[in-house]
């Protein structure tokens, strides 16, 4: 019920972030069934804007015998002097096929838009695989690679040198480190690198570091640092954003 409430809130209000770190939403272990995650946070952001924001995030993961399905929703609301200036959101669905323990094919689709980045509509489709470099009972290192089709529609002036609609084929790559320091403290680091196949200098990079501490089950506090880089952003948009987030997490 909580996850459905979050989903409705984000669909109604959203403008969305252009990339999402899916690795932190993956389910650990091999237990079958449904699990979920919900978070509300207060953020301090630098980059295109310097403000205080409130954002919400949720996911639901269902593990089958040979498949793992999950959906992610995100949203970010910002006010300055009682005036709302930020309204973001994202919906991402991913399907993982667990034919082998080390090699796992996966597909994903995503839709989002972000007014602050002059992005009125963005759609993604991807197919690839991931592999485990190292894993034990507490820690893991994984990497993945995939083909990604990207459609974007920009809300920009007709006099702009940028195209209003772009359709690109990108190479999506990621590296993820997950550390369970003890039963109450967990950390991870994930980095994505997404160049265009036809022009490698046009790239997107997302890096996220997170530390989560259990207060009392099922509640935890988190500290998250996000860095997003776009080598060719629309005019009047900075190429890099940084975001520091502190939040309260509910896991079910």
Q: Judge whether 43 lies within some domain.
A: no
- What pLDDT does residue 26 have? 65
**In the beta sheet, which residues pair with residue 216?**
219
Task: Give the phi and the psi of residue 5 in degrees, each rounded to 5.
Answer: -65, -45
- What pLDDT does residue 14 have? 34
Q: Which domain holds residue 54?
A: 2-21+50-251
86: left (phi over 0), alpha (psi -120 to 50) or beta: beta
CATH number, residue 112? 2.40.160.40
**E runs forming strands in 102-155:** 103-114, 119-135, 140-154
Query: Are residues 68 and 27 in contact, defined by beta-carbon separation less than 8 angstroms?
Result: yes
Proportion of the chain above pLDDT 70, given as a percent: 79
Torsion angle of C-alpha atoms 24, 29, 33, 35, degrees rounded to 10: -30
- If one compares 10 and 131, the residue with the highest pLDDT of the two is 131
Query: What distance in Å separates the CA atoms of residue 127 and residue 148, rounded to the nearest whole number?
Result: 7
Specify the range with the lowest mean pLDDT, choosing from 37-41, 49-53, 179-183, 242-246: 49-53
Torsion angle of C-alpha atoms 154, 159, 162, 167, degrees rounded to 10: 50
User: CA 131: distance to chain centroid?
Assistant: 19
Count: domains in the chain: 1
Going from the C-alpha of 87 to that of each of 79, 84, 193, the distances in angstroms are 9, 8, 26
Query: What distance in Å separates the CA atoms of residue 150 and residue 17, rounded to the nearest whole number?
Result: 14
**Which pTM value belongs to this model?**
0.75
Question: 């459609």: which residue's tokens?
Answer: 151
Q: What is the largest CA-CA distance in the chain?
A: 57
- If one compares 34 and 24, the residue with the highest pLDDT of the two is 34
Is residue 183's pLDDT more than 50? yes
Q: Judge whether 39 lies within some domain.
A: no
- If one compares 100 and 211, the residue with the highest pLDDT of the two is 211
Is residue 133's pLDDT more than 50? yes
Is the C-alpha dihedral spanning 196, 200, 203, 208 positive or negative? positive
Query: Are residues 74 and 98 in contact, defined by beta-carbon separation less than 8 angstroms?
Result: no
Q: Judge whether 195 lies within some domain.
A: yes
The tens digit of pLDDT for each residue in 157-173 reads: 766 677 888 999 999 99
Q: Judge whether 36 lies within some domain.
A: no
Q: Judge whether 7 lies within some domain.
A: yes
Mean pLDDT within 219-237: 87
Exposed / middle / buried, residue 173 (Cβ in 10 Å: 0-12, 13-18, 19+): middle
Specify the range with the lowest mean pLDDT, choosing from 55-64, 122-131, 198-207: 55-64
Is residue 2's pLDDT more than 60? no
Is residue 123's pLDDT more than 90? yes
User: CA 190: distance to chain centroid?
Assistant: 10
DSSP 196: B
Q: Judge whether 114 lies within some domain.
A: yes
pLDDT grade for 247, boundaries at 50, 70 and 90: confident
Mean pLDDT within 90-114: 86
**In the beta sheet, which residues pair with residue 178?**
140, 188
């Amino acid at each position: 019920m909580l996850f459905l409430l979050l989903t409705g809130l984000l669909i109604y209000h959203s403008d969305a972030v252009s990339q999402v770190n899916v690795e932190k939403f993956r389910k650990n272990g091999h237990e079958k069934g449904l699990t979920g995650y919900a978070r509300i946070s207060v953020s301090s952001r630098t980059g295109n804007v310097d403000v205080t924001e409130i954002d919400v995030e949720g996911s639901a993961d269902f593990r089958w015998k040979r498949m793992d399905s999950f959906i992610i929703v995100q949203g970010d609301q910002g006010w300055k002097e009682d005036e709302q200036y930020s309204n973001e959101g994202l919906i991402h669905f991913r399907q993982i096929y667990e034919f082998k323990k080390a090699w796992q094919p996966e597909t994903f689709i995503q839709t989002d838009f972000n007014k602050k980045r002059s992005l009125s509509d963005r759609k993604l489709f991807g197919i690839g695989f991931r592999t485990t470099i190292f894993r034990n009972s507490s820690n893991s290192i994984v990497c993945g690679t995939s083909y990604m089709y990207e459609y974007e529609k920009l809300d920009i002036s007709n006099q702009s040198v940028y195209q209003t609609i772009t359709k690109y084929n990108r190479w999506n790559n990621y590296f993820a480190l997950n550390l369970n320091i003890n039963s109450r403290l967990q950390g991870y680091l994930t980095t994505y690198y997404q160049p265009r196949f036809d022009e490698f200098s046009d790239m997107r990079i997302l890096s996220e570091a997170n530390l989560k501490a259990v207060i009392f089950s099922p509640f935890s506090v988190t500290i998250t640092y996000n860095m997003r880089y776009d080598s060719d952003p629309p005019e009047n948009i900075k190429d890099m954003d940084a975001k520091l987030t502190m939040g309260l997490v509910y896991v079910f």
